[in-house]
Structure 1
Amino acid sequence: MNDTIGLVPDLAETKLLATPNTDSLPRRLANFETFGEALDYAATGKRGFNFHDPRGTLTRAYRYTELREDARQVAYELIARGFVPGDRLALIAETGPEFAALFCGSIYAGVWPVPLPLPTSFGGKDNYIEQLAVQLNSSDPKMLVGPNEIGEMTAAAAARQGCEHAGWDDFTAGTAVAVDLPNIQTDDICYLQYSSGSTRFPHGVAVTHRSLLSNLSAHSHAMELEDNDRCISWLPWYHDMGLVGCFLSLIANQVSGDYLKTEDFARRPLAWLDLITRNQGTSVSYSPTFGYDICARRISSQTAVNDRFDLSRWRLAGNGADMIRPDVMQSFVNAFADAGFKASAFLPSYGLAEATLAVTVMPPGEGIRVELVEEERLSGSPRDLSRPARYRAIVNCGKAVKDMEVVIRGEDGGTLRDHQIGKVWCRGTSVMHSYFRDPEATAACLVDGWLDTGDMGYMAKGYLFIVGRAKDMIIINGKNHWPQDIEWAVEQLPGFNHGDIAAFSIEMENGEETPAVLVHCRVSDPVKRLELRDQIRDKVRAITGMNCVIELIPPKSLPRTSSGKLSRAKAKKLYLSGEIAPFDLAA
């Protein structure tokens, strides 16, 4: 088979070629005993990772052959520093060759890597140090390693936990003597994964080699991986979709990948589509809803997208990690159809870190399919015959992946029939081993091999439809309401974007619960703010039949998880503590 260069090189890249899409190495779909064995095999080919600057210019081609050499040197260095199998190594998951080598080197040494987030724009230095310290306390690592640029913050977090601290440079000398590496078994723990929202009560998901490789094989089969596929990603490597789906999967399934750093995507989101355009093979790329949303919003109606982009070879445009918004997906299709993007490329899926990653995936080519469901049925509340029926579009998230079972259970634990809404449970080889050092939390969600996902949904002819998170449900006067319904109601008003609204319940002075809605306000005139508040209140009342506390807050006030999702729980906490200060409409 002839090599195919994946990306057309820029003039500045004439001496730096990306790793190819294809080579002569026969593809194995993650059928290995351990992840180290998977990397050993991938290293015999020519594929690898490719890192790009904010403008999408290739800055480093990193073949799996080179990654394996660097990773083994890291393993020797860890052993020389006294690490033994089962020790934890906390790593700040910056997208780049340093993290990749440290993560894989830890695995070779039998050490459990623990990827942790980079600082975000929200919260500041002290909050970031606090977040790291809490997760370090949970994972109890021997050492924390991170980029030298944020060394002051990572050193402060390490000092609070009492663990060692090092920077990338401390592992680049390559002077450790080669030694025999431990014999890793398939049921050994491979790594610990913290969910993006793990701040106050973190749960480290312990994933074995068997679970990891089972899931990597399952989702590559579900995506019907093709020889000329290439992954393009900006997803963070501390989130399960970025770490498992767009980093570990590429190695285990021998796929080349191109990366933008997450913060670079946030500044220049269309650089993601530029990379997809330049791929001469077929593209596989995933994003939560907000990634598609921000790209569609950056394109004006006057822009000739076909002059800049060619998205005709984007074979799989994955959707996951959050509730999938069909209206946003349609806006993306409308914006980029002239550039060759096909709606059938969308690949909805459902997964969570506790199942390693993928639970269900839509069969390729079926695109986004929705069912309209009455809001009362979604919440389990009796129908109010005095109001017209309202419906929400629920997205089909596909079928269970290989070696995974999915059922819907009611409050009594019994399995429900098609179209009956209940708790989503799954069972399979890739379900987590446990929450690290937390047997109570493990026992609460793992029952006889079945995982309680905490999500609500229903099945229909083998397909899974996700309704929402059980813990986000707002219960007022015995009636259930989904916060998404309230948030989406406000988003229908002009001037609001996805992510501008957070809804949750609060307790009033009389002890009763009521919904509170925090809304980013970009209006400065006091009179117009009052009009806007009343307009929002009327809209929410029309949609839900409830009176809500409406608070207008400054833009960018609402907190997000490290993967970019709205954190309603943290928004509620910051609002009640006064850290989110609403505008004084009486002023």
Structure 2
Amino acid sequence: MNDAVLTPTPNDCNLPRRRSDFATFNDAIDYAARSEKGLNFHDPRGNLSRVYTYAEMRSDAHELAYKLIASGIGKNERVALVAETSPEFAAMFCACIYAGAWPVPLPLPTTFGGKESYIDQLAVQLQSSDPRILLYPSDIAEMAKAAADKQGCEGETWDEFASREGPECELPEAKPDDISYLQYSSGSTRFPTGVAVTHEALLHNLRGHAQSMDIGTNDRVVSWLPWYHDMGLVGCFLSLIANQVSVDLLRTEHFARRPLAWLDLISRNKGTTLSYSPTFGYDICARRISSQSHVADRFDLSRWRTAGNGADMIRPDVMQNFVNAFAEAGFKANAFTPSYGLAEATLAVTVMPPGEGIRVELVEEERLSGRPRDLSKPARYRAIVNCGKAIPGMDVEIRDEKGNAKGDHQIGKVWCHGKSVMHSYFRNEEATNDCLVDGWLDTGDMGYLADGYLFIVGRAKDMIIINGKNLWPQDIEWAVEQLPGFNHGDIAAFSIDTDNGEEAPAVLVHCRVSEHDERIKLRDQIADKVRGVTGMNCVVELVPPRTLPRTSSGKLSRAKAKRLYLAGEIQPIELEMAA
């Protein structure tokens, strides 16, 4: 299709705005289809390639729902969908909703790991979700079909399924307490588990999120976030339907190749007001632009009022680098909108009020680890980012190990409660009971409250505890990243048992240096850096680039890195002295 003849969907129309105040997501799709708004898909260079109104999406979803029902797939059955950013996925996800089936978004292949690794990942998620069928784009048909065959379920491409017969029939009625979809959590610290989300939970979260972000008339979104991750699926797909917002979409793999296409798209679409990214997205753009000049000639970011930030630990230094790089293009620092959430709470738990920007508190590292201050040494501080206030209808508490609530500025486990909290982990009662207590969700994260604002300090399950000393792996990783030549995600820190039976911190580091002597020098630099943070010697292993495993959402998986290292599946670079 020629870009010149395509007209993107509008930012506004005569249909009154409704902020997710629907009983079911079916109702939300029906209402959005009454508008002229919709999804606008762009090619790798950011050129408009397909305009897909919510009305057209609804019509296609109905046709596909009839085909699902004709195929014997209906109420409460699972349909696994490889979540590419495409009209096909959007329509099929909504078709499942209309048919009463549960869509299960699964990841696309990434650049990390190979073909067999992806097949194994899909197969295990298929085993967990037990779907009737797996549907996928044709360009990964060989891998996806292999995973389906491995699990013993049907597997077809979008086009193959669309060619099935499906006479018009009555669609089942959805209820607020019905499961709407299964969302696989990213699995940073354990194997991904299917989160069952009801219609009521979804719409409650979308409503609270829209109110906290103050989504209003004429807002428009640009997104490259993957639709198999909660931030992309819920925040940049389902939310836009339920709040009737037009969106310009860039595929995640296209962003990875040309990150600045994201900012080009925001600049070109003058009405863009909202766009979201984890920290690394802002980081890579600031790095890419650092060698270029005339930023103001290429970009116009002046209308970008909400630059959402979440999905991983928010780093104020990276955010400042982004401000420094793009202030000339009109980007305002107070556009940054930190947030905290997780799939188990549908998406958002807390959001920074619009316009407040990034606010940090300097906290002594001894307080973060719970150990007494050594008065003979100078205090060390870490900047902790304010992740905002609880969305409407969500309660947040900080609790100790016995479940007692803690006061302001006291670090403990983050718990949350509200209608947004998941129904359960699918077919995993033990895991459900481990984190759900009397309707309260144990997030597994550590943080503290101050005047109603939440500060996240790290994941409890990632904490390294050696000789009673608590160490956050993020502190170690960030310290090593300050050395020249490292990017976010190049370092994985965890604890291991040494030959003498004691625990010690271990650090796996991507090495891009080829000379033997330079590698020795690099290892020693890293060891010194970690010793300065932890006060103890550590095991430093240099590994080839792209060795460290990632979750489906692209985050570093420390637990898997440790497991692969101990199993000998991650082979460090040999550093014996040359003859």
| TM-score, length of structure 2 as denominator length | 0.98
**CA shift digits 1:149-175 (9 cap, x unpaired):** 111111111111111111110233374
Q: Does 1:140 align with 2:133?
A: no
Are residues 424 and 199 of structure 1, via their aligned partners in 2, closer, same or farther at CA, if it must alter by over 3 Å? closer
Counterpart of 2:46?
Answer: 56
CA contact (8 A) 2:182 2:196 kept: yes
Mapping for residues 130-529 of structure 1, pairs under 5 Å: 130-173=120-163, 175-197=165-187, 201-529=191-519
Q: Following the alignment from structure 1 to structure 2, what is the Cα–Cα distance between the partners of residues 569 and 161? A: 25
Following superposition, the deviation at residue 18 of structure 1 comes to: 0.7
The answer for the alignment partner of 2:569 in structure 1 is: 579
Q: Give me the whole-angstrom Cα distance separating, in 2, the residues matched to 1:171 and 1:64.
A: 21
1:488 Cα offset (Å): 1.1
The CA distance in 2 between the partners of 1:582 and 1:165, in whole Å, is 38
State the alpha-carbon separation in 1 of the partners of residues 486 and 39 from structure 2. Answer: 38
Structure 2 partner of 1:83: 73
Match of 2:5 in 1: 15
Give the whole-Å Cα distance in 1 for the aligned partners of 2:345 and 2:382: 27
Amino acid of the structure 1 residue aligned with 2:63: Q
- Check 1:20–1:128 CA distance in 2 against 1; reply closer, same or farther (3 A cut): same
Structure-2 separation of matches of 1:566 and 1:116:
18
Letter in 2 for 1:128: Y
Candidates 512, 519, 524, aligned match of 1:534: 524
| Equivalent residues of 1:134, 1:200 under 8 A apart | no
Distance in 1, matches of 2:511 and 2:166, equals 56
Q: Does 1:69 align with 2:59?
A: yes
CA distance in 1, matches of 2:163, 2:332: 47
The letter for the 2-side match of 1:509 is D
* 3-state SS, counterpart of residue 393 of structure 1: strand
Q: Deviations over 1:297-331 (max 9, x none)?
A: 00134421111100001110000000000000000
Aligned equivalents of 1:87, 1:169: Cα separation in 2: 21
Q: Per-residue CA shift, 1:486-515, capped at 9, x if unaligned?
A: 111111222222211110111112221111
Range 147-156 or range 344-353, more displaced: 147-156
Q: How does 1:37-52 map to 2 (within 5 A)?
A: 37-52=27-42
Contact 1:134 1:199 in 2 (8 A): no
Instruction: Please give the alpha-carbon distance, in whole angstroms, between the structure 1 residues aligned to 2:484 and 2:128.
Output: 44
Runs (4+) of structure 1 exceeding 6 A deviation are none
Partner Cα distance (1:437, 1:498) in 2: 35
CA distance in 2, matches of 1:432, 1:161: 26
* Contact 1:16-1:58 within 8 A present in 2 as well: yes
- Give the Å deviation of 1:385: 2.6
Deviations 1:221-268 (A, max 9, x none): 000112111110000000000000000000000000011111110000
Q: Distance in 2 between matches of 1:333 and 1:581?
A: 39
Please give the alpha-carbon distance, in whole angstroms, between the structure 2 residues aligned to 1:97 and 1:132: 22
Q: After superposition, what is the alpha-carbon deviation per residue over 1:540-575, rounded to whole angstroms, capped at 9, x for unaligned?
A: 111221111011111222121121111111111222
- Whole-angstrom distance in 2 between the partners of 1:518 and 1:178: 57
Q: How big is the shift at 1:578? A: 2.2
Q: Residues 131 and 199 of structure 1 are in contact (CA less than 8 Å); yes or no, is this contact kept in structure 2? A: no
User: Alpha-carbon deviation of 1:85?
Assistant: 0.1
Q: 1:199 to 1:487 in 2, by over 3 A?
A: closer
AA matched with 1:521? C
Output the CA distance in 1 between the equivalents of 2:214 and 2:42: 27
* CA deviation profile, 1:185-224 (whole Å, cap 9, x unmatched): 1110000000122797331100000000000000000001
Q: Does the 8 Å CA contact 2:493/2:508 hold for their aligned counterparts?
A: yes
Q: Secondary structure at the match of 1:518?
A: strand
The SS at the match of 1:157 is: helix
Q: d(CA) in 2 for partners of 1:199 and 1:89?
A: 26
Task: Kindly provide the amino acid, as one letter, of the partner of residue 523 in structure 1.
Answer: V
Q: Percent identity?
A: 73
Residues in 2 aligned to 1:400 and 1:155: alpha-carbon distance in whole angstroms: 42
**How many residues end up aligned between the 2 structures?**
577
Aligned-residue offset at 1:577: 2.0
> What is the TM-score when the length of structure 1 is the normalising length?
0.97
Query: Structure 2: how far apart are the matches of 1:136 and 1:301?
Result: 44
State the shift of 1:531 in Å.
1.2
The residue type equivalent to 2:253 in the other structure is E
User: Paired residue for 1:3?
Assistant: none
Does the 8 Å contact 2:206/2:239 carry over to 1?
A: yes
Q: Which runs of no fewer than 5 residues in structure 2 stay unpaired?
A: none
Kept in 1: contact 2:358–2:385 (CA 8 A): yes
Name the counterpart of 1:93: 83
Distance 1:198 1:407 in 2: 23
Q: Give the partner amino acid of 1:440.
A: E
Deviation of 1:17 (Å): 0.9
